[in-house]
Chains A and B, each alone.
Chain A
């Protein structure tokens, strides 16, 4: 053995500082140390300066009483609540508008992106006009436009637009009956849950059957029947355990029920419409990236236009669409902070606006806010990456 080794070519002994691997590790460690040192310096320096300037520091303010009101909150909140709770209210409002915005923008964007490719000249021109208009007007202007356009058009509470004496629309918002759940309503929810599971199982089965036998099974009708029928049945059996609190005009305003404030509507509309114009272009590009031969091949096999889009084009287009789509979702979420201009109480408005001003702790509050946006963005990215990876597997 030893002989064989010595018989080989003479071993090249590299000095550690000439070894690229060692070198790269060395430089990475140096960089890390520098970054940590710089971080520590900045941190220490800031703490010193704040102390010297007599500015309060630390995070104990999260527990102190906020003392201000917030117009709309998804969780229980009042003036006696803490700044921490005000922070949570703002965060949830951000997530709410981002979530609703992402859904609306995606639906609208896909529809317009596909219309953009329509063979119907009128439809495709209209889609183009939409895209070019909304993509090129600054978002803040669009927010103001929708807000004040909506506000000016709405009547005062006394002259509210009235739908069936239960939904009222005025400049204070859209007032709707709120549901009051009584005993037995949980059964309805259970029924809905069972229906959802049944639909999933049925769809799987239908796919499998189609793969094996080629026979199609129209799950859609059965799904609708299940999803509506089962809960309805439960609802009837339990004796309609649901009542409604109807909003009523009381003094200046409506009281009772739930209200969607105009600030939310304006922000949601403008974010969705604006982002949809970008998504439409992404969808168009994605579809066009799938070579036309694919469509022709599908047609040659006798597959109709609808299923061609759904089964041949979209799955391939999605792989091109998803990465830029994620960044639109991120943009939409971050753009929601423009709401501070129109009084929708999201994170930036409540936390870096009011709370920062009442406590004066800019460094802490801005840091927390940045961390929150970073986490939301990373969360959305992670979700989209997961979906992307799942889509990529379909590649054959």
Chain B
């Protein structure tokens, strides 16, 4: 079975790589939807309900892009991808954009033919353990067995951390996140490690949520953001500015609720954002109201965060993902 997937992967690399530098935007407009690569189910980021609807902050990026292009945030088709499949899917042209808690690293940016279009969640890697283990710090984990997922930065960070702290460990790496959770839950490992956001999200899948705790240490920088193929600057710009639109809108206090009342106002910055002044939509290759459409249909960055992450059962606080003007590091270049 694996060999078949690999062959198909290889074949599609050969075949599709022929036309991937064609303008992605034209292709997307042609087929009428954005093909968006997401996770196979990570609550709060990209997750589907029993009706098959996708939601989460990563999904909102896909919807924002669709709103900018089609004035229809529902014009998205989703491709669920495991950590190890995601880059090949993007390189081969199977998806137009990857919005799936993916860490921006030097290798991925420079050697994989990819471009990171910004950061929609600043994260860091953490550890989760059973409370009855009596561990209070990651530095007490010498000799532990650690469950994680293949093809992630996590796999490398954990090696670095234990090596630099002179601690022994065994890493058990699964292909799918559900198997990591199941294995950790059935006692295969002492520790479950991934991005902290992932820990909070996956924790709700455990049998007894209250029996586990996340350790205080954050051992890495994990800036997560949407990714596109290298070599198509128009598409790169559109994805990048769809994200920046949401952040700028929050900063200016424009929400999906109050956007109507903000129209035809006096503030020139707001006018530019809503497309009442300037040619920003034209320069991006979409309609002048692109950003207004995003905010009206998807909401601003803060709304998206609040809707998916700051609610039960995740209850993730804004932390560093607060706007720069409020003590965080989320910062978007101005629309002007």
Chain A residues with CB under 8 Å of chain B are 42, 45-46, 49-50, 52-56, 67-71, 79, 140, 148, 151-152, 154, 156, 171-172, 250-253, 255, 262-263, 334, 337-338, 340-343, 345, 348-349, 352-354, 356-360, 362-363, 366-367, 369-370, 373
Contacts and interface: CB of A to CB of B under 8 A. Distances in A.
Contacts of B84: 352-354, 356-357
27 contacts: A49-B20, A52-B21, A53-B113, A54-B230, A54-B231, A69-B170, A71-B171, A148-B186, A171-B186, A171-B187, A171-B188, A251-B143, A252-B143, A337-B2, A338-B2, A341-B176, A342-B179, A343-B175, A349-B150, A349-B173, A349-B175, A356-B84, A360-B107, A360-B112, A362-B13, A363-B10, A363-B14
Given A53-B20, A356-B84, A366-B6, A151 B171 contact: no
A292 B9 CA distance: 51
B111 A68 contact: no
A369 to B, nearest CB: 6
Contact of A341 (B110, B162, B163, B175): B175
A71 B159 CA distance: 12
Contact of B13 (A171, A338, A341, A363): A363
Interface string B136-163: 0000011111000011100110111011
Contacts of B111: 55-56, 359-360
Nearest to A255: B143
Contact of A253 (B18, B143, B162): B143
Contacts of A370: 3, 6-7, 10
Nearest to B182: A148
Contacts of B183: 151, 342-343
A357 B83 contact: yes
Nearest to A42: B14
Contact of A343 (B6, B142, B156, B173): B173
Interface of B: 1-3, 6-7, 9-10, 13-14, 17-18, 20-21, 83-84, 87-88, 91, 107-108, 110-113, 133, 141-145, 150-152, 155-156, 158-160, 162-163, 168-176, 179, 182-183, 186-188, 190, 229-231
A55 B3 contact: no
Contacts of A253: 143-145, 170, 190
B247 to A, nearest CB: 27
A46 B230 contact: no
A94 to B, nearest CB: 11
A53 B112 CA distance: 8
A152 B184 CA distance: 11
Contacts of A46: 13-14, 17
7 closest Cβ contacts across the A-B interface?
Answer: A357-B151, A360-B112, A49-B17, A55-B113, A53-B113, A56-B111, A337-B2
A335 B173 CA distance: 19
B230 A53 contact: yes
Contacts of B6: 348, 352, 366, 369-370
A42 B113 CA distance: 20
B151 A354 contact: yes
A54 B14 contact: no
A386 to B, nearest CB: 25
A151 B188 contact: yes
Given A46-B17, A69-B171, A366-B6, A360 B160 contact: no
B21 A53 contact: yes
B190 A252 contact: yes
A102 to B, nearest CB: 18
Contact of B174 (A54, A338, A341, A367): A341
A261 to B, nearest CB: 8
Contacts of B188: 151, 171-172, 262
B186 A357 contact: no
A197 B301 CA distance: 77
Contacts of B13: 46, 362-363, 366
Contacts of A156: 187
A54 B155 CA distance: 25
A274 to B, nearest CB: 13
Given A151-B183, A262-B188, A356-B151, A362 B91 contact: yes
A349 B155 CA distance: 13
A152 B186 contact: yes
B7 A252 contact: no
A225 B176 CA distance: 52
A262 B112 CA distance: 35
Nearest to B85: A357
Contacts of A140: 1
A367 B11 CA distance: 11
A152 B187 CA distance: 7
Given A42-B14, A354-B150, A250 B231 contact: no
A354 B171 CA distance: 13
Contacts of B3: 334, 337, 370, 373
Contacts of B231: 52-54
Given A52-B231, A251-B143, A151 B186 contact: yes
Contacts of A262: 188
A67 B144 contact: no
Contact of A53 (B17, B141, B156, B169): B17
Contact of A67 (B151, B159, B173): B159
Contacts of B152: 357
A68 B21 contact: no
A392 to B, nearest CB: 31
Nearest to B146: A69
Interface centre among B113, B150, B162, B186 (most CB of A within 10 A): B150
